[in-house]
Amino acid sequence: MREMMHTEFRKRFLEGATHQFFAPGRINLIGEHVDYNGGHVFPAAITFGTYMLVRKRDDRMCRFYSINFESQGVIETSIDRLTYREEDGWANYPKAMLHYLMSHGVITEGVDCLYYGNIPNGAGLSSSASIELVSGYAFNELYAFGLSPLELVKLGQRAENEYIGVNSGIMDQFAIGMGMKDHAMLLDCETLECEYAPFKLDGLSIVIMNTNKRRELADSKYNERRNECERALLNLQRELEITALCELDVETFEDHRHLLQDDTLYRRARHAVTENARTLEALEALKGNEIERFGRLMNDSHRSLDKDYEVTGKELNTLVEAAWENHAIGARMTGAGFGGCAISLVKQESVDRFIEKVQSTYLKTIGYEATFYVASIGPGVHEIIEQVKGETG
């Protein structure tokens, strides 16, 4: 793949790349749809991700090409015209990062960029945030802005919220920008305090199960769910001095359920509060090597996302329920939902049989196949220095 990317870069831009970078995708082990409610999440960077080759130009042009979107060709603009354009599609993500980085310094030279990602597009493993962070990290290095990893994470969220127009929380960008090999992260999305937890589950594998149902986040009900949580919060604030739903423990929340007479708002808020509690308990379970307990919390998380938050759907439920029936330690949807992926913890010796059984059930029920990936926990965004030497010119 490395050789193919460099060959393609020369073909598209007539010169060789000077730098190569990688940003992972992410899975969230537990703690879904709480990041924008002030709660704790438990994500990890994975070894699937986005590769980027880049070189500076001697003019003000910016050119972007993705091997994954070959039919779109090279998308061109200049550093003076980095506004959002719908027709630029995926290239709006690197454009957004360059646009916001320009407020931190002067750029006089454009850039040529080539991307290749092995994250299933639209699967809910944060391919968009991966593109944002690999681009931001690359531009930060190339133009010597000197921003910290956390500053780049915040710029990535800003790009998603303000430039793209999706009300995402900060979890995706944080996991990708701050990930650590063989570690998951307990992240407080309100304070951005992060505790790394070793994630070496002896004898178990993480199996990612892709529904292959496209989930377009900006067009989904994600923004609707966030709005419902904001409305629930406003109701609860009539008696409670809180700034986010996840400041509440389960008991206090239930004591004030009379403030949420709308059943939909009650269930949305109940998910946020109980999911936050599950996430904190999940860290305790992992620290105590209580894997069965951790798995039960994953299962409870999925049920809450299905019944209270209503973001699963037939495809995700079919995968997760088939995983439960085939002896997964735990299984749940991951990401925004409405399609995308689920994850399972499975005994290593059972992975092949597990995939075969779940696939059979899914094909029979849905009518087309799911795709399965056995994931590892990898590092966050970084430059690949040793693999690009001798590739210039």
Q: Measured between alpha carbons, how far is 344 from 330 in angstroms, rounded to an integer?
A: 6
- 82, 63 Cβ separation under 8 angstroms: no
Task: Report d(CA 55, CA 110) in Å as an integer.
Answer: 9
Q: Show the tokens assigned to 38.
A: 């002030």
CB 380 within 8 A of CB 220: no
DSSP state of 70: G
Q: What are the E-state strand segments in 29-71?
A: 40-41, 43-56, 61-66
Single-letter residue type at 148: S
Distance CA 77, CA 69 (A): 17
Residue closest to 26 by CA, chosen among 178, 205, 204, 189:
178
Handedness of CA 184, 212, 223, 259 (dihedral sign): negative
E-strand ranges in 199-302 read: 204-210
Using CB atoms within 10 A of its CB, is residue 292 exposed (0-12), middle (13-18) or buried (19+)?
Answer: exposed
Cα 135 from Cα 292, distance rounded (Å) = 39
Rounded to whole angstroms, the Cα distance separating 32 from 334 reads 7
Q: Has 112 been annotated as catalytic? A: no
Residue 315 carries which side chain, given as an amino acid letter? E
Number of CB atoms found within 10 A of residue 175's CB = 30
DSSP β-ladder status, 382-383 and 61-66: unpaired
347 burial via Cβ count (<10 Å: 0-12, 13-18, 19+): middle
Options 35, 112, 172, 308, the catalytic residue: 172
**Residue 327: which region, alpha, beta or left (left: phi > 0; alpha: psi -120 to 50)?**
left
Task: Tell me the C-alpha distance between 124 and 338, whole Å.
Answer: 9
Catalytic residues: 172
